[in-house]
Structure 1
Amino acid sequence: MDCEQVKAILTDAIEAEDIIVSQDGTHYKIIVVGDQFDGMSRVVQQQTVYAPLMDKIQDGTLHAITIKAFTSAQWQREKIFNG
C-alpha cells in the first residue's frame, strides 16, 4: 500500500486540516493536523487515526505505523521548533 492510498483512507474518514503520510519500507509515519484533537488525550488522538486503518492493520497490509496528531496551533509550534 502506498502513501497516497493511506492518505485517501484517512481523508475520507477524518476531517483534518492536513494529513501527511511518509513511508520507509514497511514503516509508515502519519501526521494528522486538525482542531478536533483539541482536548483529546494522546491515546484518543491515536485511536481516532487508527480506526479507519484498522482493516488494513488486521489483514497485514499495514504493519508498522507511527502516528502524531496535532491541533493547528500545536502543528505551527512543531514546525517552528522541529523544522
Structure 2
Amino acid sequence: MAMDARDIESLIKAALPDARIVIRDLAGDGDHYAAEVVSESFRGKNRVQQHQMVYAALKGNMGGVLHALALQTSAPE
C-alpha cells in the first residue's frame, strides 16, 4: 500500500507546524518521493538531526508504507 503525498505533508506539518513543504512523487507510484522541508525548528541543527526530525514526524511509516523519501531540509534564510 502506497502513501499519499498529502498524508506525508500532514504528518510533517503536525510535528513542524511552521514548515514550508514541497513534495514530489518521483516515480508516479506513491512509493518514491522527494520532499523539501524548510522550518525554523531546524536552525542550529545539523543535516542528520534535521532529517531525524522529519523521519520522527512520519511516525514509523518510513521504510514501510513509504518506501523512499529523498529529503532536502533547511532553516529559513
TM-score bucket of the superposed structures, by smaller chain: 0.7 to 0.9
- Number of residue pairs matched? 72
User: 1:55 is aligned with what amino acid?
Assistant: G
4+ runs of 1 displaced by more than 2 Å? none
- Percent sequence identity is 31
User: Unpaired runs of 5+ in structure 2?
Assistant: none
Match of 1:12 in 2: 14
User: Unpaired runs of 5+ in structure 1?
Assistant: 74-83
Higher helix share: 1
Please tell me whether Structure 1 or Structure 2 has the larger radius of gyration of its CA atoms: 1
Match of 2:75 in 1: 71
Structure-to-structure mapping, 1:3-82, within 5 angstroms: 3-25=5-27, 26-58=31-63, 60-73=64-77
When normalised by structure 1's length, the TM-score is 0.76
Following the alignment from structure 1 to structure 2, what is the Cα–Cα distance between the partners of residues 62 and 22? 13
When normalised by structure 2's length, the TM-score is 0.81
